[in-house]
Structure 1
Amino acid sequence: MESAIIGLLGVIIGALITVFKDYYFQKKKDEKDAKYLATLVSFELERYASACADVVGDDGLCEGQPDANGFNSVQVPVPKFEPLLIKGEWTALPQDIMYEVLDLPHKAEAANDKIRSVCEFDVPPDFSDCFEERQFQYANLGINALMLADKLKTHAGFPKRADVRWTPMQYLVEQLSAIEKARFEAAQRVRVIPTPSAPVPLETQSKS
């Protein structure tokens, strides 16, 4: 009887050890996969944010001059962020971060739709509203991309980079703040003209 119990315990312990080993090695593999993918995606996000900063710096002029027709025209093409082209085990990432990364192209599409709607009704030669909206939208996209890159690096346990004199985040935040300030000041200058009160009918005046 005792030998049977000992044998059963041995089987149970052996099974538990196997389960623990499988769990341990799978956990290590997931951590390795997550770090590898976090590295690739964070670098791609930073590259995208840098390209967004280039768009934000585009005022439609080439070396301070308009095009041959005297119009301001796009000098920097819009960048693309295509996360599904990045090979890796996406399920190794936290679901919330994975969703945010995969949703960024949708946010870029929405931003481009907004830019198109503004540009459609803007007027030459400067197209100032069009370029301002383009700068505004891509400043937001670039900031979003850099914040996501930081989330990935934090999750993977990567050390933060040493401070440098200039960063895309600093530039994007400064430009976004400048646009928001200009829009606020423009809105403050707009004054609603009060509607004049209707004149009192003559017959009413005579009764009084």
Structure 2
Amino acid sequence: MDAASITMTALATTIGTVLVTGFSHRLAVKRGWRDDERRHARYLAIRLVCILDEFVNGCLEVAYDSGEYDSQGYSQATVSSPSIAMPDDVECKSIDSALMYQALSLPNQVASADRSIAFYGGFVATPPDFSEYFEKRRECYCKLGLSAIDLSDKLRVEFSIPNYEAVNSDWHPSEDFENVLAKLAALNAAHAIDPAELIPT
């Protein structure tokens, strides 16, 4: 074998080694980056689930709040409405965009519900019990609670986060919200005015 052949073989071997090593390194870096991104996404999902669980608990308290009479004889809320704030110190692109939209739009849904409740409190409800206000408030927070549970369940499935009900076997907020909504619907149906009654005879 002449010197030129040896040089060509050595050069080809060196180039091949560099290419294989570079490709392997790039593959390892990419795999590591994906693993880091998945870990980051799971961490964010866990944070969101914990925030949602706390919000659901607050919604559940409101769902059962029909008010109590104060010393003046007017009905007042016994619990504060829960608020929700999504973390803003994390990279949201690591979670599926549909899930992130659902999460980031929840505070807007809460604000919209609060405006509707305030309208009922200011223009629809009548003293001293303000029943229309409390019914609207309970209805809105039942629906918000169900939305939060839906999102929490999706995140738990996507990121293998244990189900809260599995740890707390007597905690079934979905059923509670559905039961309250059914009772409120029955109450509204009982109070509904037949349009025919509004027509003078």
| TM-score interval for Structure 1 and Structure 2 normalised by the shorter chain | 0.7 to 0.9
Mapping 1:135-154, distance limit 5 Å = 135-154=138-157
2:80 to 77, 82, 85: 77
Shift of the 194–141 alpha-carbon distance from structure 1 to 2, 3 Å rule, reads: closer
SS at match of 1:20: helix
1:171 aligned residue: 176
Q: How far does residue 191 in structure 1 lie from its aligned partner after superposition?
A: 3.5
Structure 1: 4+ residue segments shifted above 6 A? none
1:157, 1:40 → 2: CA distance?
13
Shift of the 120–96 alpha-carbon distance from structure 1 to 2, 3 Å rule, reads: same
1:100 aligned residue: 102
Shift of the 110–8 alpha-carbon distance from structure 1 to 2, 3 Å rule, reads: same
Mapping 1:171-190, distance limit 5 Å = 171-187=176-192, 190=194
**Match of 2:173, as an amino acid?**
P
CA RMSD of aligned residues (A): 2.2
2:15, 2:46 → 1: CA distance?
46
1:47 to 46, 49, 54: 54
2:74 aligned with 1:67: no
2:42 aligned with 1:35: yes
SS at match of 1:59: coil
Mark the runs of 5 or more structure 2 residues left unpaired by the alignment: 1-7
2:131 aligned residue: 128
Q: How far does residue 110 in structure 1 lie from its aligned partner after superposition?
A: 0.4
Identity, in percent, stands at 25
- The C-alpha deviation readout for 1:44-96, integer Å capped at 9, x for no partner, is 101111011101111111xxxx11110101211111111135x4443221111
1:20 aligned residue: 27
2:101, 2:195 → 1: CA distance?
43
**Match of 2:196, as an amino acid?**
V
1:152, 1:130 → 2: CA distance?
33
Q: How far does residue 193 in structure 1 lie from its aligned partner after superposition?
A: 5.0
Q: How many residues align?
A: 191
2:195 aligned residue: 191
- The C-alpha deviation readout for 1:133-189, integer Å capped at 9, x for no partner, is 0000000111111111111111111243427234222211211122123334444x5
Q: TM-score, normalised by structure 1?
A: 0.82
**Match of 2:27, as an amino acid?**
F
**Match of 1:11, as an amino acid?**
V
